[in-house]
Structure 1
């Protein structure tokens, strides 16, 4: 490593630590054929579901050089967001809403992008090089790049795993025209462990290191439009936004729990909120409550749809009045999931009597929900 490169790396790591990042390492901007081939396979098999942008951005996503041909180095940064406690016990509290750990505070895109811009600006001033900043939503294969940079490796659950921080890492990148000596890539340390695969409630992993997003609760609650497919509803439990099961099961998290780098502390009102407070949300309530949160981007209708699935799985009859009001909601997806919830919370005869009053329903999907549930009761 030449003296200039060494000084720039030291400068970057000091800046990263001062901004609350847990790791900062360098990868060379070059083609990544193995990662590109895995991405192409997933697209060909339809594993990305409604996320059409994965195919649309494939060319740019397949290599850092396709995104920016002048780039010579990629500065990869990671921020540990390991929770204070294991989030899985909340799954047993059926009257509560389980929100993925990463979404219990401010939108990490905003937090990290602001910090990356500061680091990139100072680096550009110091080096004279051009820079570009990317966070998650850009067509960058961040996890393969983080592996090349030595921050961690892509585990069998396809997420990045670190020997120092476990599975709880936010990632961001700075592309630069500066040629910086790359760090040593990390190797796979999963061994024979299958904890993350075996814990998945919807069996979303067709094989190790391959995720079928169409079966993933994170995808279903965040990216999927319309009604939730019947086969996944019970498995969702009380997960109303995302799913942490495969992350939380990773044995390497024991190191993350010892870290003092937690910069994003969960909002108290999102640690174990009651389902009842969300089922009554209109659009204004939703926007106000989740202002600055990543949850806001899915919109009120999808969010309440998810909460109705959780209500149906709760066994809590006290939620019936809230669910009953939602059978007249403007959103067909909300109405349909309200039907499903009521079929599980009401006595059979009471649900059948209610169904007979809903013959005027105009949406075919919602009518199907009423008919299927009523027929099920008659069997």
Structure 2
């Protein structure tokens, strides 16, 4: 990138306020600015990778050098404009979410994935925002990102002051909790920097205690290989048997560490229709989703983050949840019979990955 704006336009006293106001008009809750220096965060990343805690996410290791310095990713970058966008809906009911986890026939999808794909939403609005800035101050070098490049997004957001790092490793904010997406614009403008926030977790470790697989191995330490979000989304192969029971009826992601967090109880809710629930994913049953053909899956998840995992992983996850339902002592035999029959009917034509999980599920009630 090359710096084309005039110094006077960047130093304009009202520019910083204008940036925040325009970002808010586009649906962003916060906008903060940081530089590109990541300090000891790169060392911590290298240690995490060396321990193999990234599991099958080999792209984390492949692009580790780029993650260490945004200037390597986009030469000429001197500042990172960081934004957040909440996805917690007004009707979101945490008590109901906990209740559904106790209902074996329900299919639990992480809250963030029930609406439109956040990659599309944020990227489009970030681009609109960058265009507005260009119209105001003139041409400048920039690139927009949202969970789509080798960037240490959470660390940059923490440095910018969007929040502090919680013990579950997610970003936390006193007004917005942790249920928000992050986006970045790497720019060649020397904009004024914002200050970091103080941490407010104190002695609380509710997120660590509630994790079904104990994936938060210590404060601020996550072993992705144990995390249900990783296992159901990023993991391309078999789900380790040792974690299948703990998955319960979670078929895409896991919100437990966020649902339990006190800061999310007071979080402001989004009014953006983009994140409104689609296809009844907030109350769908396992059998309803199991009945979807591959074409149903592709069509109904069009424009959704869920479509990225593909039909096989979707079926794999459902099979595990159905096996857990069969093992539930609370579920009536009549409902178990329906689940068992649906699994048996699918087994002859199932791909090997799904077939292994179906076989496990059918035998789950006797193990």
Select which of 62, 68, 79 maps to 2:68: 62
- 1:225 matches 2:236: yes
1:50 has 2:46 as partner: no
2:301 corresponding residue in structure 1:
290
Corresponding residue for residue 72 of structure 1: 78
Contact 1:25 1:76 in 2 (8 A): yes
Q: Partners of 2:200 and 2:72 in 1: how far apart?
A: 30
2:214/2:226 contact within 8 Å kept: yes
Cross-structure match for 2:39: 33
**Partner SS, residue 203 of structure 1:** coil
Give the corresponding residue for 2:120: 110
Deviation at 1:244?
0.3
1:12 Cα deviation from its structure 2 partner: 1.4
Q: Could you state the TM-score of these two structures normalised by the residue count of structure 2?
A: 0.90
Deviation at 1:239, TM superposition (A): 0.2
Residues 1:194 and 2:205 are matched in the alignment: yes
Contact 1:133 / 1:173 at 8 angstroms: preserved in 2?
A: yes
Q: Describe the superposition over 1:48-76 as per-residue Cα deviations: whole angstroms up to 9, x where unpaired.
A: 00000001111111122222231111110
Q: Deviations over 1:242-276 (max 9, x none)?
A: 000011111111221x4455552222611110111
Q: Which runs of 5+ in 1 are unaligned?
A: 349-375
- How far does the alpha carbon of each residue in 1:248-306 deviate from its partner, in whole angstroms, 9 at most, with x for none? 111111221x4455552222611110111222333212111211111101010100110
Secondary structure at the counterpart of residue 183 of structure 2: strand
1:331 aligns with 2:351: yes
Check the 8 A contact 1:308/1:341 in 2, yes or no. yes
Whether contact under 8 Å (2:142, 2:187) holds in the other structure is yes
Matched, 1:93 2:103: yes
1-side partners of 2:149 and 2:304: how far apart?
19
Aligned to 2:27: 20
Distance 1:292 1:259, change over 3 A: closer
Q: CA–CA distance in 1 between the matches of 2:310 and 2:194?
A: 41
Structure whose CA Rg is larger: 1
TM-score w.r.t. the length of structure 1 is 0.87
What is the correspondence of 1:4-19 to structure 2 with a 5 Å cutoff? 4-19=11-26
User: Matches of 1:25 and 1:244 in 2, distance apart?
Assistant: 26
For the residues of structure 1 that align with 2:133 and 2:86, how far apart are their CA atoms? 22
**Structure 2 partner of 1:352:** none
Q: 1-side partners of 2:221 and 2:340: how far apart?
A: 39
Residues in 1 aligned to 2:291 and 2:216: alpha-carbon distance in whole angstroms: 35
After superposition, the CA RMSD in angstroms is: 1.7
Question: What stretches of structure 2 of length at least 5 have no aligned partner?
Answer: 1-7, 327-335
Is the 2:279–2:300 contact (alpha carbons within 8 Å) kept by the matching residues of 1?
no
Q: In 2, Cα distance between the equivalents of 1:165 and 1:266? A: 20
**Contact persistence 2:116–2:276 (CA under 8 A):** no
Out of 312, 317, 326, the position equivalent to 2:337 is 317
Aligned pairs (5 A) from 1:141-152: 141-152=152-163
2:164 is the alignment partner of 1:153: yes
Number of aligned residue pairs: 345
Which secondary structure state, in structure 1, belongs to the residue aligned with residue 292 of structure 2? coil
- Structure scoring higher RCO (CA < 8 A, sep ≥ 6) equals 2
- How far does residue 5 in structure 1 lie from its aligned partner after superposition? 4.5
Residue of structure 2 equivalent to 1:365: none
Structure 2: how far apart are the matches of 1:97 and 1:235?
14
